[in-house]
Amino acid sequence: MDEELNSKPSRLLVLYASQTGNAMDAAERIGREAERGGCPSVQVLSIDHFGASCLPDEKVVIFVVSTTGQGDIPDSMKVFWKSLLQRNLSNQWLEGLHYAVFGLGDSGYQKYNFTAKKLDKRLSDLGAEFLIEKGLGDDQHPSGYEGALDPWLLSLWRRLNIVHPYILPRVSDIMDPSKRSLDQAKFEVLYHFADEIQSKLSTISDLKDTEKVIESALSMSPAQFYYHEKRPEYFLQMITNQRLTEEVDGRDVRHFEFKTTSSLIDYQVGDVLEILPSQNPAAVDAFIQRCNLDPSCYITVIPRESNNQSLGRHSKSLVHPIKLKSFVEYTMDVASASPRRYFFEVMSFYAEAEHEKEKLQYFASPEGRDDLYEYNQKERRSVLEVLEDFPSVQMPFEWLVQLVPPLKTRAFSISSSPSVHPNQVHITVSIVSWTTPFKRQRYGLCSSWLAGLDPCKTNGVYIPALVTQGALRPPPPSVPLILIGPGTGCAPFRAFVEERAMQNLTGSVAPILFFFGCRNQNNDFLYKNFWSSHAHDDGVLSADKGGGFFVAFSRDQPRKVYVQHKMKEESKRIWSLLSAGAAIYIAGSSTKMPADVTSTIEDIIAEESGISKDSAARWLRLLEKAGRFYIEAWS
């Protein structure tokens, strides 16, 4: 203990690995509370901005890490994690480091909070000492991860105050509501006079103009600093908007086709199309009016210089002043995403009416946390709705820029093969709608917007989009495939089948077994004719080629039939293809389906080969490492 006191820690470091922004939000809160507690220097960083080799130089580090997907490490942590897993690191490498881990996860998944659990163990194995036991936030808790974060933070501050009082001198100040003061906004908004703006854009076509405005808006947006969001590369023209499900059924699934106008679209099967949705113009106008903003003035947004920040600079070349309305339209989600707890805390400082101020302070406090969750997160309350419920609040635009959730792209698995449809890209979209606990009807922002677009409109309909690599890697034509894709999960496999059929024309290809599932043969049998055509006449799905196409209609009979049941019926064929080197791909929108199908595969392996289910599970894990087992699940 004495040796540690000799070398006082210079700072508290908070590292977060966030996938959707929750871990980042929690990390920022930890940073704020540390400051309130008198911490002389606290730094909050995304883990991909920190080199693992610098860890031994630190004295106190808090890790806030999410577990994403089916139990995976967030993308931003992959490099750091790999560095930490190196065999040659000694078990004293992190001696002298005090750490604490808080994990964000969902106990509805088998691999619950695996990132936090593995990280905590590895740090300890490398010689670091934990301040307190790891905290595990759970989405299944009535108030989400904050249910676990509140008590965990209290323990952390108390412990830190004892072990390193220099780093955290005043615990009581953190808890004292009277000590709560407003921090400084992280961003500045510069207003430009009309005569400063050269209209150099007047000679370029409308589309180019919009492109430049979007580019500028996204480059200035706070999201650019926190999330490294990629910017749209293409403006795709919608050429087809076709309903695939019958009008009878409540579900509306669409087939969309897009084509490029200028450049070529570069993609492979298995890739993902990310679309930046348009917001409802009426909602954007209502927001601007509610906040007393001038939609037509020109602005630039820049990070505020300060000691505790390391936001970096944005690429100056892409940034030029744009209309305030455009900035709101393209970067601030006003009518769909819900704001976070901190938004309510800052609102409380700007509430004129006493009862509103009280309510907002209550919502931001640990006591009001559950009620906030019920009012805000569970209801998917939008920023506009919150502001309308608290009409006396006048929040300065700087704060709105920082705290209104960023408008995010939505990702869809691509359902076309570029070799079959050059310069086109197709997607399969289920239109999202649901009823909240308060019985309000809500619709998915992107899916509803896409559904309402008319490709035949006079000037054409253009959407900003980019292509990213998905979890499914394209298979070589010689590898036999076992594909499982119920519902919209069939989308990427339409691309796989198209591509392989094309490859079949010029060389030999391995066969495909495809398992599809839907509710009713007559309602939601997506791409029925397409699968049929490839399952006959020597197609890649045909029995003659060694392939197969199997459908489970869950509701066409009293007993529920799912893809797993169809797979069990084909147990022997699946096993023989697997033994001959087949690769397995699972895709779909259900949270439970991938785990259920994986379990079925383990059963099949165990039964056909005679080994135990545990050994089968281990074998599958090896298959995954060898790049022959992929899962793409979305919610």
Partner 1 sequence: MAAKCNVLLLTDAVALPLRVVLSALRDVGTEGISEDDVVVITQCKSLGKLPKESASVDVALVAWENAELVGEQWFQEIGRVLKPGGKLLLQVIPSSDTLDKPSSMVERKLLMQGFIEVQSLEMKLLLSIGNVQSITVKAKKASWTTGSSFPLKKATNKVPKIQVDDESDLIDEDSLLTDEDLKKPQLPIIGDCEVGRTRKACKNCTCGRAQSEEKLQKLELTSEQINSPQSACGNCGLGDAFRCSGCPYRGLAPFKLGEKVSLPGNFLAADI
Binding segment (CB under 8 A) for partner 1, from list 38-46, 265-273, 394-402, 568-576: 568-576
What mask of x and - would describe binding to partner 1 in positions 338 to 367, judged by CB under 8 A? -----------------x---x---x----
What is the DSSP code (8-state) at residue 285? H
Helix, strand or coil for residue 471?
Answer: coil
Residue 358, amino acid = E
The H or E element spanning position 413 is strand 410-413
- Residue carrying the six token digits 């490398």: 126
> Is 413 annotated as contributing to ligand binding?
yes
Considering only the stretches 178-186, 307-315, 491-499, 604-612, report the one whose residues sit in contact with partner 1 under the rule CB under 8 A: 604-612
- Residue 254, beta-bridge partner list: 243, 429
Q: Is position 572 an interface residue for partner 1 (rule: CB under 8 A)? A: yes
Does the protein bind partner 1 through residue 246 (CB under 8 A)? no
Residue 24 or 497: the one with the smaller Cβ distance to partner 1 is 497
Q: CA-to-CA distance for 513 and 493, rounded, in angstroms?
A: 11
> Rule CB under 8 A: which of 269-298 touch partner 1?
280, 282-283, 286
Asked if residue 349 belongs to a known ligand binding site, the reply is: no
Residue 574: its H or E element: helix 571-579
Q: Is 505 in the site for partner 1 (CB under 8 A)?
A: no
Measured CA distances, 85 to 119, 176, 193, 202 (Å): 10, 41, 54, 55
The reply on whether position 141 binds partner 1 by CB under 8 A is yes
The 3-class secondary structure across 235-281, one letter per residue, is EEEEEEEEECCCCCCCCCEEEEEEECCCCCCCCCCCCEEEECCCCCH
- The correct pick among 177, 250, 476, 558 for binding partner 1 (CB under 8 A) is 476
Number of amino acids touching partner 1 (CB under 8 A) = 89
Q: Where are the alpha helices (DSSP H) in 7-69?
A: 22-36
State the binding string over 610-629 for partner 1 (x if CB under 8 A, else -): xx---xx--x-xxx-xxxx-
Q: Does 438 bind partner 1 (CB under 8 A)?
A: yes
Least Cβ distance, residue 119 to partner 1 (angstroms): 8
Tell me if 603 is assigned to a ligand binding site: no
634 annotated ligand binder: yes
Q: Is 447 annotated as a binding residue?
A: yes
Binds partner 1 (CB under 8 A): choice among 8, 20, 51, 121: 121
The reply to whether 90 sits near partner 1 by the rule CB under 8 A is no
> Is residue 327 part of the contact set for partner 1 (CB under 8 A)?
no
Contact between 441 and partner 1 per CB under 8 A: yes
Half-sphere exposure of 357 (CA within 13 A, CB side): 7
Closest separation between CB of residue 612 and partner 1, Å?
Answer: 10
How many degrees, rounded to 5, is the angle at CA 66 between CA 164 and CA 275? 135
Cβ distance 462 to 207 under 8 Å? Answer: yes
The region of 22-30, 413-421, 556-564, 572-580 touching partner 1 under the rule CB under 8 A is 572-580
Q: In angstroms, what is the minimal distance from the CB of 600 to partner 1?
A: 17
At 231, the amino acid letter reads R
Q: Which residue's CB is nearer to partner 1, number 240 or number 306? A: 240
| One-character DSSP codes across 140-188 | TSTTTTHHHHHHHHHHHHHHHHHH-TTT---HHHHH-GGG------SEE
If you write DSSP's letter for every residue of 103-126 in order, what string do you get? EEE-TTSSSTTHHHHHHHHHHHHT
Residues annotated as binding site for FAD?
Answer: 380, 410-413, 444-447, 634
Residues annotated as binding site for FMN?
Answer: 18-23, 66-69, 139
Residues annotated as binding site for NADP(+)?
Answer: 488, 554-555, 560-564, 596
Residues annotated as binding site?
Answer: 18-23, 66-69, 139, 380, 410-413, 444-447, 488, 554-555, 560-564, 596, 634
